[in-house]
């Protein structure tokens, strides 16, 4: 797994929200608007929920989920969100998450584009099975500029799986038919990784500084292969850096009113990511604000997060409209 830690993405700086200039001082606003904005009070300390993950270093990871059924909406993609959560919890930073058609040309093109961005890890999910529309292995070979070859290790893995399935009565026989053998054709130089649940081996290719791992698309197989072959080296590559998050609930039900206050805090704490999460409109609705940041020293990151939320709390308590930040 050499190369996973050799490419690091920078921690993203908060994007400056594009918005109209906030209105003038509170005293000059119409009474109704002033009353509405007065309801946006400081985040309640007692409502803050803290969460610490082991993770979030800056090891860049890209994910491609493959299958036309995902694009038509016939099947909801659960692999992408699952992988994103696991990668983040293990210390990676997902920089891209995409869904592709079962088109080898399109898949190969996206893989080449990803390799040009040099992430530490590129994951694909889907397209490794025995049918004609399972084309990920061929697309990998095309993207890497190598031929498909019948891999002896992959062939043994597939044969052993069907022997076990036949013995259990799950399939009629253990014959290694052409469609079954198709799952043993890998890009030249690739490594076959045992599938703990299904028949199709996962595939690992090294193109420093990027490691590519192709996972099966069946969710149970994908998850088992990820845990068996990706989780430990990804965590090792992530090292000791941590992501800390702090959440606070504001007494504000209108995100458009909260936005200019958040923008001031974003500009003062550009190394942190601030996100408001409204659920609906209403006087009884409260908006949760999440602040997250990465670093090697948990104490320093925690101090920055607490400082950002304290600044937001002070702004909202004062009730004054912050400057637009354009000047």
With beta carbons less than 8 A apart as the criterion, state whether 26 and 317 touch.
no
pLDDT in tens, 6-43: 444 443 433 333 333 333 333 333 444 444 444 444 45
- A 10 A CB-CB count for 25 gives 10
CATH domain 59-238 topology: Molybdenum Cofactor Biosythetic Enzyme; Chain A (3.40.980)
Residue 98 has pLDDT above 60, yes or no: yes
CATH tag for 23-54+241-318 (out of 2.60.40, 2.30.30, 3.30.1340, 3.30.300): 3.30.300
Q: Name the phi and psi angles at 47, rounded to 5.
A: -95, -5
pLDDT in tens, 297-313: 778 889 999 999 999 88
Distances from the Cα of 66 to the Cα of 16, 57, 106, 107, angstroms: 33, 27, 10, 8
Q: What is the mean pLDDT of residues 284-289?
A: 69
Tell me, yes or no, if the two domains 23-54+241-318 and 59-238 fold the same way.
no
| CA atoms of 10 and 55, how far apart (whole Å) | 15
Beta strands in the chain (DSSP E): 41-53, 59-66, 92-100, 121-125, 148-150, 185-187, 191-193, 202-207, 210-215, 242-251, 273-277, 288-295
Burial class (CB within 10 angstroms; exposed 0-12, middle 13-18, buried 19+) of 310: middle
Question: Can you tell me which residue has the tokens 């259990």?
Answer: 168
pLDDT reported for residue 294: 78
The vertex-87 CA angle with 272 and 275, nearest 5°, equals 30
98: helix, strand or coil: strand
Q: What is the mean pLDDT of residues 261-280?
A: 88
Domain ranges of the chain: 23-54+241-318, 59-238
């Amino acid at each position: 797994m050499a190369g996973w830690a050799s490419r690091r993405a920078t921690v993203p700086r908060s994007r400056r929200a594009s918005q109209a200039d906030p209105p003038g001082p509170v005293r000059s606003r119409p009474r109704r608007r002033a009353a509405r904005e007065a309801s946006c009070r400081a985040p309640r300390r007692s409502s803050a929920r803290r969460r610490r993950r082991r993770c979030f270093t800056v090891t860049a990871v890209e994910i491609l989920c493959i299958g036309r059924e995902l694009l038509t909406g016939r099947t909801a993609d659960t692999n992408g969100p699952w992988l994103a959560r696991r990668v983040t919890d293990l210390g990676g930073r997902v920089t891209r998450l995409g869904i592709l058609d079962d088109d080898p040309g399109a898949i190969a093109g996206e893989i080449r584009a990803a390799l040009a961005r040099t992430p530490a890890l590129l994951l694909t999910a889907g397209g490794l099975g025995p049918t004609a529309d399972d084309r990920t292995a061929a697309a990998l070979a095309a993207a890497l500029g190598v031929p498909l070859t019948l891999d002896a290790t992959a062939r043994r893995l597939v044969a052993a799986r069907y022997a076990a399935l036949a013995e259990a009565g799950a399939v009629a026989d253990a014959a290694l038919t052409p469609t079954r053998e198709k799952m043993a054709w890998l890009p030249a130089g690739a490594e076959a990784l045992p599938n703990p649940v299904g028949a199709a081996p996962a595939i690992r290719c090294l193109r420093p500084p990027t490691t590519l791992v192709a996972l099966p698309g069946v969710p149970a197989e994908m998850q088992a292969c990820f845990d068996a072959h990706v989780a430990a080296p990804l965590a090792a590559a992530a090292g000791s850096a941590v992501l800390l998050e702090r959440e606070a609930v504001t007494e504000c039900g209108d995100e458009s009113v909260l936005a200019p206050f958040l923008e001031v805090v974003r500009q003062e704490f550009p190394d942190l990511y601030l996100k408001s999460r409204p659920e609906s409109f209403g006087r009884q609705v409260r908006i949760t604000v999440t602040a997250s940041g990465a670093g090697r020293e948990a104490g320093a990151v925690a101090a920055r997060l607490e400082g950002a939320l304290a600044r937001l709390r002070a702004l909202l308590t004062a009730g004054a409209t912050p400057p637009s930040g354009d000047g």
